[in-house]
A and B are shown apart, each in its own frame.
Chain A
C-alpha cells in the first residue's frame, strides 16, 4: 500500500504563513491529493485538493511537485482558530478504491 508521512506537530504564531508537507510514495497516477482539517471531537473537514502544480482557494494553497511524491499545504496568515489537526489523503496505486490517510499534523498557533 501507499504510505504517507507528515510531521507529528508544528507550532507557529498568528499572522505567519504555515507550510505542512506530506510525503507520499506509490500513489496512483490518476489520483488526487486532498487535505482535511479536524478540530477536537468533530469530523474532518475538506480544505483543498489538487492533482499537480498549484491550487489555491480562499483558505489555503496546495503545492504538488511534478513527481507527485509529496504535497505541501500552505496556510497564509494563520490565526488562533487555525489550531487543529491537518491530514493528507491519497489513493493507493494498487487499487482504485483504497484510501490512505496520513497520521495527521497537530498545528498549534500561538498569539
Chain B
C-alpha cells in the first residue's frame, strides 16, 4: 500500500460525458501527478500540481483539466469523453521539497480504470 488513494476504482461512461477522478496523496506529500496509461502502452504524464499550484504540464488534452485543493487532494476532470480516452489513470504523489524533483520518489495509487462506451 503506497498511501495514495484513488476513487473510483472503475468507471464506465458513455461518449460525450464528463467524469471526475479523485486522488488523495500520501500524508505530507505536496506534489500530485496525473498519468494516463492506455492498454499495453507506457505512462503518459498529464499534469503536476505542487501545493495547490500547477507546476508542469505534459500531454494533457484541452478537454482535460485538474486542480489541487487546499487539503492537497486533487481531481482530474475529463469532459466530452471519446472512446480513445478509455485507459487507466494513475495519480502519484511525492514530497518535492526542492528542485530537482527527480530527487524524490513518486508513490503511485492503484489507478482508476475508465471505460468509455
Contacts and interface: CB of A to CB of B under 8 A. Distances in A.
Interface string A36-50: 100001111110010
Interface of B: 2, 4, 33, 42-43, 45, 48, 55-56, 58, 88, 90, 92, 99-103, 105-111, 113
B8 to A, nearest CB: 15
A63 to B, nearest CB: 17
A33 interface: yes
7 A-B pairs with the lowest CB-CB distances in the bound complex, closest first: A43-B108, A96-B99, A97-B56, A91-B102, A32-B102, A31-B102, A104-B42
Contact of B108 (A31, A45, A90): A45
A102 B43 CA distance: 8
A30 B102 CA distance: 9
Nearest to B6: A43
